[in-house]
Amino acid sequence: MWRADGQGEPVVLRGHAGQMSSAAFSPDGQRVVTTSEDKTVRVWRADGQGEPVVLRGHAEEVLSAVFNPDGRRVVTASVDGTARLWTLSIDKVRQLLRKANKDCLSVDDRMTYIGETESEAREHYEACERSYGRVPLSAATDP
């Protein structure tokens, strides 16, 4: 990505296993969402720092993605004929589940907390996601 004013070096986003099909900035310009033929969606910091959040769940190439106006959700469309709505705050919880010694995690926007082992937390989180018709954690995580 190049800055509009032409200053500095371009930011290179590497990580997709296949060709990227789209990229879009968040409303605040702080994040970029990319889609790819590798069936994944990645949410990056616009400065290129850190690791992207990887969203999995489409069965075929993901063609496009766009942030909603507040930047907390991303809508994706795929060759598989589906559109998915991803709540990014939920995905942050997914990242927290991977870290050890977390006593309390918020599993939804209503700030419902759980204080359990990782496997128990994952089980409750997935049940919560299914109850809202969203993709369970196990379908959206890295191997």
Query: What one-character-per-residue DSSP string does 25-39 give?
Result: E-TTSSEEEEEETTS
In one-letter notation, the amino acid at residue 44 is: W
Domains of the chain, earliest start first: 1-87 (2.40.10), 99-134 (no CATH)
For residue 96, pLDDT beyond 50 = no
For residue 28, pLDDT beyond 80 = yes
- What pLDDT digit, counting tens, does each position of 104-123 carry? 334 444 434 344 455 555 66
Bridge partners (DSSP) listed for residue 42: 34, 54
Q: What is the DSSP letter of 80?
A: T
pLDDT band for position 12 (50/70/90)?
confident
pLDDT band for position 133 (50/70/90)?
low
Backbone angles phi, psi at 74, to 5 degrees: -130, 135
Q: Measured on CA atoms in the order 109, 143, 78, 59, is the torsion positive or negative? A: negative
- What pLDDT digit, counting tens, does each position of 57-86 carry? 889 999 999 988 888 888 888 888 888 888
